[in-house]
Structure 1
Amino acid sequence: MNNIVKCLVLFSVFTQNVLGLKILVLFPLPARSHYNLGVQLAKGLTQFGHEVTIVAAFSEPKPPKGFKEIYLPELVEMRENSDNEMGKVNMFEMENINPIFQVLFLNHAGALWTDLVFNHTKVQALLKSNEHFDVVILEQFLNDAHKYFAYHFNAPLVLFSTVGANAWVNNFVGNPEPASYIPNVFLSYYQEMTFLERMWNFIFGIIFELNSQLYFYPKQNEILHKYIPDAPHINELNYNISLLLLNSHESINQAVPNVPNMVNIGGYHVDPPKELPRDLKEFMDNAKDGVIYFSMGSNLVPSMMPKDKKEAIMKVLGSRKEKVLWKWDDKNLKVPSNFFVSNWFPQQAILSHPNCKLFITHGGLLSTTETVYLGVPVLAFPIFGDQKLNAARASSLGFGKSLPFSTINEHNLAGTLNELLENPKYHQNAKIRSQLLHDRPVKPIDLANYWIEYVVRYKGANHLRVAAVNLPFYKYHMLDVIGAVLGGLVLIAYLLSKLCCRRKASAKSQSKEKGE
């Protein structure tokens, strides 16, 4: 009988490894850069024999075997509809917005998109289906209520953090984030902060946490129970995390503490095509003085750029000997003779070309990762979110420089370009960072697959979770102990003051008696 049991156990393990897993990947945010990360992870996992279903606002034109889609194009349409309450936000106008207002803006955006996803007929059909999934992978980005999918399908929950370890995800796995040397993702500081920077980082961290605990999570809980009345409370879902995949690596991101169920897989999405389109290949091959590639990512709309900045940039770049590739959404733009303009470029293929000398970017983490992976220096014009933090790291690590977009003029732009293109240290530092990113024991997609299979194999891998996730907020931050100590000190001070007052009164009384 024992031999039969052993055989059955071995057979179940063997068939699980051979047949692969059924994986649900949720990347529903209608932002192309976020989708690119999700679809690359989903496609990468199919290479290991898994069947992957992705819920997303974009579609894959050439899906591999084992790849399924729940396509939600209406989310993109709603985002691009100017009559929608979110509308087309001009991100260039948000460069100098106070980080507190950024948080308030994202509160609203997160609630809106979380609600739209739950309300979608295809998503409701998925929740009402008889589907089974072995694991659920969710992009953690202003959508905490979507953690319910793992609970619904009774599967381990793997979170994916687009911007690495940060205040949005650290609490869920009990990861420490000392304000003394880890700047908040919304601030433009690097790890070596001044006294005033550390003070603001500390204060802003408190504001951020209070906003999360007192407004954002309750709002997500409200949205969840609007659609799933009998769902668990959001707090139960938030801290039931088996694995946290981080789109980061120490070659680019600051070295920070990671608890056992946090895994860095930054760079997994980079897979430069071998060939450029013919027109681009000819343009770059014939650029004897090199090429400057200029793209502000997929979320910023180039034509919304202020006219004076556009003209300054065009004049400076148009006067240089290098050729320029500029991602721009207006086909009628009149440009200098050394420009090649398009509304889309194969970014990784361009950066991998030997004639690409510099990448002018908004400083998004995908672009930063790709340029480091391929060893190209950067000039960052950071606008919003983590872009300022990424730009500060590029400057501090010596593989690029940063210019606040609002300060750009012909003089400082020309000087910065001269420094980046004529001083060899930036190219050398970019190559060093690239070497660090490549020097790993296994490929990052292999690492992601290993740990995803691991948490399924060990039923959620509870042994990887630190005890902090089971502590209420006040215990984790020792507020009860601090309160008790402060209360004790106040009591002691009060008793001592009373004792001193009595002694003084007694001494005064004795003095009067002697006088009499």
Structure 2
Amino acid sequence: MTLNHFCGIITFSLNLVLFASHCNGGNILVFPVDGSHWINMKIVLEELHTRGHNITVIRSSNSWYIPEKSPIYTSITLEMDQGLENFFDIYLQEHMRAQREGASLMTFLKLTKDFLSMITKAHLLWCDATTQIFQNQTLVKKLKDSQYDLVLADPAMGPGALIAKHLKLPLVLNVRWITSGEGHFVLAPSPLSYIPVPGSGLTDKMDFIQRVKNMFFYSIVFFQEKFLIGPIYADLCNRHIEGGCDIVSLLQDADIWLFRSDFVFEFPRPTMPNVVYIGGFQCKPAKPLPADLEEFVQSAGEHGFIIMTLGTLVNALPKEVTDEIASIFAKMPQKVIWRHKGTRPSTLGNNTMIVDWMPQKDLLGHPNIKVFVAHGGTNGVQEAIYYGVPVLGIPLFFDQYDNLLRLQKREAAKVILLDNVNGPNFEKAIRELLYNDSYRQNMQRLSSLHRDQPMPPMDQATFWIEYVIRHKGATHLRTQAYKLPWYSYHCLDVLVVLIAVIMGLLFLVFAVFRFLFCRGGRNRKLKQY
């Protein structure tokens, strides 16, 4: 080995050590959102912790799921006198009751009003909590002295972006939803002619009436952003952010958007270079089941088993619905594992196991799984795609119908609305999924597409977080479009000037011809005299 080779190896090794130490020693401030959003964020934090990053989480004193003490992070707890859990439970029960009674314009308007009221209340509470931070000079000094490398935030609530701006730190968003809806609509061109607004229940193929409906739903989002949520944050920005700001521009100014979706699931649409799609990042190869569950699912033999869960926020469907579902399960040769916290159904069969919790991903990855009965939350839908399990969807609220609609359009799921859930409809749908192989084949094709990536979604997420740490931001990937006024963005000012110039030239040509014509006419008259 020559001296030059030896020196080259030493230099390369030192670069690796320096590079690794800089990436793996990041100091990250995290603003999560509670509920199912925290489940997503926690998975990312666990991975960052294993890679050597130091993590601090801002949480509320009445958090549902975010513990104050954790082996993977330290916490900053904000005192909040009032929580949303009771209000949220009331909203969910009212929402399900209204669905059971059937759709009507008055029901839709009432549910929309209740939803906007709940969301506005949540933003007001968190803005009050953020004010606590900015007014607490000791805490602000502590945050500045901690020398964080970046803020990692869930932008469904806005304080994470405000804190990043106040501390002058790079911002990475763990996102699908922002303060006013789906994140793409403030980041990338979103033509309403083929991009459905969440809540509309539409696909990317719309006729005229459907486009009118899409515009109507967008108007609700616009109203929410401009007249409900925006003013709340504008007041906070004016009081505590130098030069003022608005919440949408703060989010648009984020360095990286880690988007919890992908185009196996989502309809194709325009995007931006600082958007990284990490749909299914929480999915891993299934682990062996606990002995009791394994024995239970194996006891069905070739018939396999079904699992049913409605997520973390819904304890139970209405009693009459659960009784009808249980009676259908009881007639089937499959075994059923049902996550259910309400009153035990009176029609429950011996083939059905009721549980408070289940290892959902490990069950979905089991070779004997046949059907996944689910509410259509983003996590469950992406896990079903990853493991290739057809879905019988019972959407309850928020984005769940839209999520399930995307699977149904790809013929990998069936959807039953809550007002149509009864014995005959449920039995017909689940038997179609069990005995029509096309659903499983279509879902497994989606699974194959989803898995065929150059880098696993979780590795992409951690790479880009560490990228921002290494380069102290990613400003070269951010569009400048949001800094333009709306008339400049659409080039209306250019259009007005061009029209004025063209009209001026036309007027000038007209004036010249008129002058020449009139002058020629006068000359002919003079010659006649």
Q: Give the TM-score category using the shorter length.
A: 0.7 to 0.9
Q: Aligned partners of 2:425 and 2:462: how far apart in 1?
A: 46
| Structure 2 match to 1:93 | 97
Q: For residues 43-69 of structure 1, what are the alpha-carbon distances to aligned partners after superposition, in whole Å with 9 as ceiling and x for unaligned? A: 1122332222233433469956xx213
Is the 1:79–1:88 Cα contact (8 Å) retained in structure 2? no
Report the TM-score when normalising by structure 2.
Answer: 0.80
| Structure 1 residue 76: Cα displacement | 11
1:239 aligns with 2:244: no
Do the aligned partners of 2:149 and 2:472 also contact (CA within 8 Å) in 1? no
**Shift in alpha-carbon separation, 1:420–1:340, aligned structure 2, 3 A:** same
2:340 maps to 1:328: yes
CA deviation profile, 1:17-62 (whole Å, cap 9, x unmatched): 36521112211x331x111100001111223322222334334699
Over residues 323-358 of structure 1, what are the superposed CA-to-partner deviations in whole Å (9 max), with x where a residue is unaligned? 111111136544221110012111111111112110
Answer whether contact 1:94 1:383 (CA < 8 A) is retained: no
Amino acid at match of 2:481: A
- Matched to 1:154, the amino acid is K
Q: Secondary structure at the match of 1:244?
A: strand
- Which residue in the other structure is 1:199 paired with? 212
Q: For 1:478 and 1:102, how far apart are their aligned partners in 2?
A: 38
Letter of the 2:161 partner, please give it: K
The 5-angstrom pairing of residues 429-468 of structure 1 reads 429-468=442-481
Give the secondary-structure state (helix, strand or coil) at the position aligned to 2:227: helix
Give the partner amino acid of 1:25. Answer: V
2:146 matched to which residue of 1? 131
1:46 partnered with 2:49: yes
Residue 145 of structure 1 contacts residue 223 of structure 1 at CA under 8 Å; is this kept in 2?
Answer: no
Structure 1 residues 87 and 77, CA, compared in 2 at 3 Å: closer, same or farther?
Answer: farther
Instruction: Confirm or deny that 1:146 pairs with 2:160.
Output: yes
Alignment of 1:110-259 (within 5 A): 110-115=122-127, 117-118=129-130, 126-129=139-142, 130-141=145-156, 143-162=157-176, 168-170=182-184, 172-173=186-187, 175-223=188-236, 228=240, 232-235=244-247, 237-259=250-272
> Deviations for 1:369-397, whole angstroms, at most 9, x for unmatched residues?
01111111001111211111111111111
Range that drifts further, 401-410 or 460-469: 460-469
SS of alignment partner, residue 440 of structure 2: helix
Given that 2:261 and 2:280 are in contact with CA atoms closer than 8 Å, whether structure 1 keeps it comes out as yes
Deviation of 1:427 after TM superposition, in Å, equals: 0.7
Post-superposition shift, 1:429?
0.9
Tell me the percent identity: 28
The AA in structure 2 aligned to 1:14 is: F
Amino acid at match of 1:466: T
Q: Which amino acid aligns with 1:195?
A: F
Letter in 2 for 1:136: V
Equivalent position amino acid for 1:247 in 2: R
Q: Which consecutive unaligned segments of at least 5 residues does structure 1 have?
A: 1-5, 492-516
Q: Secondary structure at the match of 1:357?
A: strand
Give yes or no for the alignment of 1:34 onto 2:20.
Answer: no
Q: Distance in 2 between matches of 1:103 and 1:490?
A: 50
The SS at the match of 1:30 is coil
Query: 1:422-459: CA deviations, max 9, x gaps?
Result: 00001111111111111100111111122222233333
CA distance in structure 2 between the aligned counterparts of 1:481 and 1:202, rounded to whole angstroms: 26
Given candidates 20, 29, 38, the residue that maps to 1:24 is 29
| Paired position in structure 1 for 2:84 | 79
| Distance in structure 2 (CA, Å) of the matches to 1:466 and 1:113 | 31
> In the superposition, relative to structure 1, how do residues 100 and 251 fare at CA in structure 2: closer, same or farther (>3 Å)?
same
Do the aligned partners of 2:322 and 2:345 also contact (CA within 8 Å) in 1?
A: no
Distance 1:86 1:365, change over 3 A: closer
User: Normalising to structure 1: TM-score of the pair?
Assistant: 0.82
Q: What's the counterpart of residue 347 of structure 1? A: 360
CA pair 191-489 structure 1, distance change in 2 beyond 3 A: farther
